[in-house]
Amino acid sequence: MTLTGKTSIVKAFINPKYSKAPTGFSDTRSPTLYPLILYDEATCKLYQLNIIDTPGLCEIRANHDEIRNNHQIFSLIKRFTEQNIGFINCICIVLQAGFILHSNLEAVDECIDFCGIKFSENTMIVMTHADKYNSTKLHEFHDELRKHPKTQKCFNYCKLGIYDTGILDHDELQIIEDEYLRDLVIEKKR
């Protein structure tokens, strides 16, 4: 979905100290492939992880003439994956913790229909902005997703479950003058 923080998740995964102030408009115009090399200490092997960052559904742009409908965005994603990816291991449906619009729920249903039942076993919900809530409140959000009639389809489709994430707010950290204390806060938020 648009403005949930998909690109921020990818950039924070690449650089854990990444931070960005939201603009209120969609930044991702086309699908982008981020290949990452990961080292598995247990097996001493390198693995390549390919992450595709896609434009969000229900697009919001500064220039109204650039807005695309969900069908156009799905067509763009389909073309990109067919040309660049041999197979898909995991799909993340990204929602903002504590803030799910009715239009986002319709878009999630469209996304599930687009992906089809075959990807249900490989799909998860990622709730961004989770760093703003305590674990009790996040558990309540998860419970609401599971129980609410408008989100049950999404919850039941995403067999890999729900995962919470957030990125550092460097503006918030600026008020901490002690560098050692700031590093402790950063470490705790990871």
**Integer Cα distance of 33 and 141 in angstroms:** 30
Kindly state the tokens that stand for 35. 């290949």
Q: Please provide residue 143's backbone torsions phi and psi, each rounded to the nearest 5 degrees.
A: -65, -40
Asked if residues 157 and 112 have their Cβ atoms less than 8 Å apart, the reply is yes
Q: What is the pLDDT of residue 186?
A: 52
**Domain membership flag for residue 144:** yes
**Domains contained in the chain, number:** 1
Helix (H) or strand (E) holding 124: strand 123-128
Domain span including residue 31:
6-189
In the prediction, which pLDDT does 102 show? 66
In a domain, 176, yes or no: yes
- Return averaged pLDDT per consecutive 10 residues of the chain, 190 residues in all: 65 71 65 84 88 76 75 85 81 82 76 88 87 86 88 90 73 55 54
53 C-beta neighbours (distance < 10 Å), count: 18
CA–CA dist 48, 19 (Å, integer): 24
Q: What is the pLDDT of residue 46?
A: 92
Residue 139, domain CATH = 3.40.50.300
Are 8 and 63 contacting, i.e. CB atoms less than 8 angstroms apart? Answer: no
